[in-house]
């Protein structure tokens, strides 16, 4: 009791500071893998979204890529570009009128057991219906002296608010068991 005022902890609401990350959802792929993971019914509460993940593909190669899709759109409404390097050489890529929001580099089925790629995907201004949605991907995997780091960005040429994000293997494989993705909201 403070004076004549009863105060309980529920009476204090501390707003989240600008730039604060708030956990929305996490997904860990179970036994047998998964063809995709999906974050659905994303509220328009935050300024930006971020996905942090580790992944491995069942694609029969040392490496693979994962693609992102917004609102289940598989039409040719995306454009992407990026840079990559492996310690010995560097390169770039660009695609227009493609069906995905960019490829993040990850480990494939024939890489050393238990090696996973890491990825951070920013989805900027995802709820703004006055402009296209922009994504930024930073990813990489190390294969004991080889591998790649990739920085890419994409544009989804649609002004709809993003309410669903889908992640799939780019080469037709599954996301392997223990692949893990966490979705965060970022206050603006």
Which pLDDT belongs to residue 173? 92
Tracing tokens 């494939």 back to the chain, one arrives at 108
Domain ranges, ordered by start, for the chain: 21-186
| Mean model confidence pLDDT for the chain | 89
**Which residues does 44 contact at the CB level (< 8 Å), separation at least 6?**
127, 161
- Is the model's pLDDT at 30 over the cut of 70? yes
- pLDDT tier at 103 (50, 70, 90 boundaries)? confident
The stretch 92-101 carries a mean pLDDT of: 92
- pLDDT tier at 5 (50, 70, 90 boundaries)? very low
The stretch 31-41 carries a mean pLDDT of: 96
For the segment 15-28, what is each residue's pLDDT rounded down to a tens digit?
556 668 999 999 99
> For residues 16 and 145, what is the distance between their CA atoms, to the nearest angstrom?
42
For the segment 110-147, what is each residue's pLDDT rounded down to a tens digit?
999 889 999 999 999 999 999 999 999 999 999 888 89
Which pLDDT belongs to residue 144? 82
Which pLDDT belongs to residue 42? 97
SS3 102: coil
Say which CATH topology domain 21-186 has. Jelly Rolls (2.60.120)
Long-range Cβ contacts of 135-141 (<8 Å, 24+ apart): 135/68, 135/101, 135/102, 137/68, 137/82, 137/102, 137/103, 137/104, 139/104, 139/105, 139/106, 140/105, 141/63, 141/105, 141/106, 141/107, 141/111, 141/115, 141/116, 141/117
Across 24-38, 98-112, 162-176, least confident range = 98-112
Residues in the chain: 188
């Amino acid at each position: 009791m403070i004076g004549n005022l009863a105060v309980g902890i529920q009476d204090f609401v501390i707003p989240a500071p600008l730039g604060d990350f708030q956990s929305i959802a996490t997904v860990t792929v179970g036994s047998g893998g998964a063809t995709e993971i999906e974050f659905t019914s994303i509220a328009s509460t935050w300024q930006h979204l971020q996905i942090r993940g580790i992944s491995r593909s069942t694609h029969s190669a040392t490496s693979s890529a994962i693609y992102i899709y917004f609102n289940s759109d598989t039409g040719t409404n995306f454009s992407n570009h990026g840079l990559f390097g492996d310690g010995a050489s560097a390169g770039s890529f660009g695609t227009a009128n493609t069906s995905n929001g960019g490829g993040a580099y990850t480990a494939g089925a024939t890489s050393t057991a238990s090696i996973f790629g890491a990825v951070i995907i920013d989805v900027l201004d995802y709820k703004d219906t006055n402009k296209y949605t922009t994504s930024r991907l930073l990813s990489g995997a190390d294969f004991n002296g080889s591998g790649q780091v990739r920085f890419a960005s994409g544009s989804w040429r649609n002004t709809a608010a993003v309410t669903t994000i889908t992640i799939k293997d780019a080469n037709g494989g599954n996301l392997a068991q223990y692949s893990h993705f966490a979705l965060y909201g970022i206050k603006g």
